[in-house]
Chains A and B, each alone.
Chain A
């Protein structure tokens, strides 16, 4: 039972265009969301995050949008560059007692073509 779903396993985009990666979640207790990027043979690296009290967070070419009523978030990359080609993971965080749990999606593989 996937609580965090990335329904598109892969996405191909032309260099310079917008990449939109989507993520849906089912647990309304999630209150913080993170996007990670992963290159082959490397560990994931943090990209951008958003708290559930916001609906948008921007960092350079990367913007994350959160629609709480739809339990949906998306990562926009504008303009896309070949170096953005990687697997992108969406992760959601919720309190679990005195700690927090982080649940990961399965990832979307982005290919940016020159």
Chain B
């Protein structure tokens, strides 16, 4: 059981380049999330997918797009990278993210991708 895996672990981009961060989970979780963590800013939600086939914006979605490819995989794309997107990106998953029941389940995190945009 690998849990939540993320690729790549490190990436350096030039301003304007594009890239996709990959995330996969093998826990059969319904919900998946992308966060960024910056010094002094805590964890901020970029996008989330409450269930397969749905995606929603989080707190800081500008400059990003996501794809929930299937139940296992949730990718984050930077179309034109900017230095302000230099950060550590975490993917997470949970059994149920919310929904009508409002149940709160713990989120399981991947190891992170450290991205530098020059």
- CB closest residue in chain B, given A93: B104
CA distance A104 to B90 in the complex (A): 14
A62 to chain B, nearest CB (A): 14
CA distance A70 to B18 in the complex (A): 46
Closest to A107 in B: B42
Known contacts A43-B111, A43-B112, A46-B108; is-contact A99 B50 (Cβ 8 Å): yes
A108 → chain B closest CB, angstroms: 11
Across-interface contacts of A49 in B (CB, < 8 A): 104, 106
- Given known contacts A102-B45, A106-B42, is B92 in contact with A95 (CB within 8 Å)? no
Residues of the B chain whose Cβ atoms lie less than 8 Å from the Cβ of A98: 98-100
- Cα distance A65–B26 in the bound complex, in angstroms: 33
Q: Decide if B109 touches A43 in the complex (CB within 8 Å).
A: yes
Of the candidates A4, A41, A99, A107, the one whose C-beta lies within 8 Å of that of B111 is A41
**Is residue B40 contacting chain A, with contact meaning CB distance below 8 A?**
yes
* Chain A 41-60 interface mask (CB, 8 Å, partner B; 1/0): 11111100100000000000
Residues of A within 8 A of B87 (CB): none
Q: Which residues of B69-118 are within 8 A (CB) of A?
A: 90, 92, 97-100, 102, 104, 106-112
Nearest Cβ in chain B — how far from A52, in angstroms?
Answer: 11
- Tell whether B32 is near chain A: CB-to-CB under 8 Å: no
CA distance A34 to B106 in the complex (A): 8
Chain A residues with CB under 8 A of B109: 43-45
For A99, the chain B residues whose CB sits under 8 A away are 50, 56, 97-99
Residues 12-48 of B, flagged 1 when their CB comes within 8 A of A and 0 if not, give 0000000000000000000000000000111111000
How far is the CB of B91 from the nearest CB of chain A, in Å?
Answer: 8
CA distance A100 to B4 in the complex (A): 21
Give the 3 A-B CB pairs with smallest separation, nearest first.
Answer: A43-B109, A100-B98, A99-B98
